[in-house]
Chains A and B, each alone.
Chain A
Amino acid sequence: MSTARPPFAIAALAAIAVAFFALPLAGLVYRVSWQTALSDLLTPEALDALRLSLVVSMAATVLGLLLGVPLAWFYARVIFPGRNVVRALTTLPMVLPPVVGGVALLAAFGRRGLAGEWLDAGFGLRIPFTTAATVMAATFVSMPFLVLTVEAGIRSVDRRYEEAARTLGASQWRIFRQVTLPLVAPSLFAGAVLCWARALGEFGATITFAGNLPGVTQTLPLAVYLAMETRPEVAILLSLVLLLVSLAVLVALRDRYLRLD
């Protein structure tokens, strides 16, 4: 790969772009009160939020894998009428403001929602204000990242491997499990990590659909937002934690799995 000698104007504008993204991180580092950092991080509120965020984002990733991988396979391998419309529908949360996602989830799974009313009347199941609602909100906004990544992975698999397996008498299910999935392992991993990172940062849909209760639905981003009013030093520290985790994820991914260059 050859490196172009960059024209000054392009280099200058690119440098401004980098500064625009780097300065907020530097600002956080600058504002952290390091003396109290450990005790701030060990407050029950912060620990509760951290624990809940880990549980919720992992659960959203597992759900994403369970439901998203089959969906990605369908998009990549099956031609069915309205595929583009369905795909647009399941990609929508990537571009939708998360708060709108939360309102839509309430309209569907709220106590008076389309499915929620029936769940309440039939099974006494009420989703809003529960950790389950937090997981649903996170899954709603994060699964599309996994689906798109895995779909691209499956599309790039040489179909001759699958056909060879078929001629040897393997069933479709066995081919999917033993040929396709191992071949797309890097995309699976990349998709799962992107999905997890998005779930970890979810705010708008969560506060709208799941509400805010420490230990039950108050994830890290909610804790950051609310701590900003009372204990800004805690908010800054938690923000830095979230930012560093996300940064680490992206750096690791780029090097090992996202072969963009």
Chain B
Amino acid sequence: MRALALACVVVLVSCGGASPTTANTGSVTVYAGSSLADAFKKAGEHLKVKDPRTDYVFNFGSSSTLATQITSGAPADVFASADDVNMQKLVDAKLNDGAPTFFVGNRLQIAVAAGNPKQIAGLADLARPGLILVLAGPTVPAGRYSLDALRKAGVNVRPASQEVDVRAVLNKVALGEADAGIVYVTDVKAAGTRVTGVEIPEQHQVIARYPIVVVKDSKKPRLARSYVEFLLSDEGQTLLAEFGFSRP
């Protein structure tokens, strides 16, 4: 009997001792718009250095694809969207834990081949006959923002393809398959010397604001929340600014 009681105590103590660690251990699954890929991976590495017990697993794609996956039951802990529309899909499905917070902003830019051999000066040049233009699909945030910008500029274009996410647009330009594509400032920066960015003037510009939220039923709500809090902190904002993101 005493042995049994002792065993119980040992078990209780060891459990009690272990629980604070298990709460911080594990992996957080972050679903994020493809434009966030480099910045989020860096943020993950940064946090991993601070706390090696937590792993960060990322799923990057168009925010519309990701929102569909989460509402279909994909096990995400955090969702960061490049627009409000796709975040709203999650909120409508009551899959958000707390209100979404805007955490960064972004701007559009025209990506062209390195050195701009086709001498594209602005949105109007994208309508040039024979020029191969690719855009993100109309359901993808970047695709919708691009159409907004083109509408503001009064330019009618005939894209050669509507890509599945903004990084696919960037890659088609970087590979030389397309002459131009509309992407985010941060994408051009991420591509380095492979592409050149052409500015879109202020009056045609579309500002993208990115909301982030902890997903309801997350198995690691505390870790998920601390990831979001990091991004909102000064340190997180500095890291995001290095990739070209602005404050929301």
Q: Are B162 and A111 in contact (CB under 8 A)?
A: no
Known: A111-B176, A112-B176. A126 touches B132 (CB 8 A): yes
Cβ contact of A110, chosen from B64, B160, B176, cutoff 8 A: B176
Q: Are A213 and B159 in contact (CB under 8 A)?
A: yes
Q: Are A129 and B68 in contact (CB under 8 A)?
A: no
Q: Does A221 sit within 8 A of B, measured CB to CB?
A: no
Q: Does A230 sit within 8 A of B, measured CB to CB?
A: yes
Q: Are A212 and B175 in contact (CB under 8 A)?
A: no
Q: Does A239 sit within 8 A of B, measured CB to CB?
A: no
Q: Are A212 and B177 in contact (CB under 8 A)?
A: no
Q: Are A230 and B161 in contact (CB under 8 A)?
A: no
Query: Chain A: which residue is nearest B179 at the CB level?
Result: A111
Q: Does A60 sit within 8 A of B, measured CB to CB?
A: no
Q: Which residues does chain B contribute within 8 Å of A211, judged by CB atoms?
A: 134, 160-163, 172
A-B contact count (CB 8 A): 53
Q: How far is the CB of B225 from chain A (nearest CB, A)?
A: 27
Q: Mark B127-164, 1 if CB is under 8 A from A, else 0.
A: 00000101001010000000000000000000111111
Q: Which residues does chain A contribute within 8 Å of B163, judged by CB atoms?
A: 211-212
Q: How far is the CB of A136 from chain B (nearest CB, A)?
A: 14
Known: A129-B132, A129-B160. A229 touches B65 (CB 8 A): yes
Known: A106-B177, A112-B176. A229 touches B139 (CB 8 A): yes
Q: Which residues does chain A contribute within 8 Å of B162, judged by CB atoms?
A: 211-214
Q: Summarize A's interface: helix, strand, loop or mixed.
A: loop
Q: How far is the CB of A103 from chain B (nearest CB, A)?
A: 10
Count chain A residues whose beta carbon lies closer than 8 angstroms to a beta carbon of B: 20
**A232-B178 Cα distance, complex, nearest whole Å:** 30
B:51-66 near A, CB below 8 Å = 62, 64-65
Query: Chain A: which residue is nearest B67 at the CB level?
Result: A229
8 nearest A-B residue pairs (beta carbon): A211-B161, A129-B160, A112-B176, A229-B64, A229-B68, A128-B177, A229-B139, A129-B161
Q: Give residues in B with beta carbon < 8 Å to A.
A: 62, 64-65, 67-68, 132, 134, 137, 139, 159-164, 172, 175-178
Inter-chain pairs besides A129-B160, A210-B161, 14 sampled, C-beta below 8 Å? A106-B177, A111-B176, A128-B160, A129-B177, A129-B178, A207-B164, A211-B161, A211-B162, A213-B162, A214-B162, A217-B161, A226-B137, A229-B64, A229-B67
Q: Give residues in A with beta carbon < 8 Å to B.
A: 106, 110-112, 126, 128-129, 207, 210-214, 217, 225-226, 228-230, 232
